[in-house]
Amino acid sequence: MFLIFGNPVSHSKSPLMHNYFFKKSGINECYGRYKLENGEEIIKKFKELKIKGANVTVPHKEWAFKLCDETRGIAKEIGAVNTLIEENGKIIGYNTDAPGFLEAIKEFDYKKVLIIGAGGTAKALSLVLPHADILNRSESRLVYFKEKNKTCYTWENIKNFEYDLIINTTSAGLSDENYPAPAEILENLFLNAKYAVDVIYGKETPFLKLAKKYNLKTKTGLDMLVYQGVLAMELFLEKELDKKEAAGIYFEILR
């Protein structure tokens, strides 16, 4: 038995994805969801429910990081865990979000990257895209990135528009028609870029619609969702999967 912890969690596509994968792969397992009100109880609940593994979504990723017995891989640097597994009585924490993003953009040929936003997703992606620059509305939220010696800009002082890949990590466009930065900045960026990726999935955001007008190749956050799911499944099953084949199964049910 596997599940996802979150609050809210009813919207999560993880049960749909993973149960379909189990069915198609002939694996006798199931995957559910658990609305967890108090993040401090995440490991206690994991043990009480006697599950083998879990995914963790907002707002509990930091609690999972703090409370699991051990963290491995990039989770240590990010300070957030999105996958938990039980191993010899210990609860081990991983983060498959950022590596999943890298898998999602594997076919892109890029060198210069600009990340728009300064939240948790931006931090995670900046660790797996070490040469990426950061653009954010306010200066105050750029402290973390400056401490990591990142080149940072605000809307007022951006002067470099030469990037191959532009990534939106903000919530702009999720439930509105807003851009993650002023249109004139995006237009200047899109004149030179080849690719635009939005971490939002389930809709084509205004950011991606504008990118398409400039003939950029675009991706929604669906690919990131799928590939982080594939990497989590490898941890659940304790074996390496054919990532392209596994992703194909997830895409079947999600598209």
Helix residue ranges per DSSP H, 105-162: 120-128, 143-147
Burial pattern 91-126, b for ≥16 Cβ within 10 A else e, equals bbbbbbbbbbbebbbeeeeeeebbbbbbebbbbbbb
Amino acid at 7: N
The beta-carbon contacts of 67-74 under 8 Å, at least 24 apart in sequence, are 67/40, 67/42, 67/43, 68/43, 68/92, 68/93, 73/99, 74/98, 74/99, 74/124, 74/127, 74/128
Burial pattern 43-73, b for ≥16 Cβ within 10 A else e, equals beebeeeebbbbbbbeebbbbbbbbbeebbb
Q: Is the peptide bond before 8 cis (omega within 30 degrees of 0)?
A: yes
Which of these is catalytic: 13, 35, 50, 61?
Answer: 61
Tokens of 29: 């397992």
Q: Does the active-site annotation cover 90? A: no
φ and ψ at 34, to 5 degrees? -140, 120
| Beta sheet of 31-35, edge-to-edge order | 31-35, 2-6, 53-56, 83-87, 90-94, 70-71
Which residues are known catalytic residues?
61
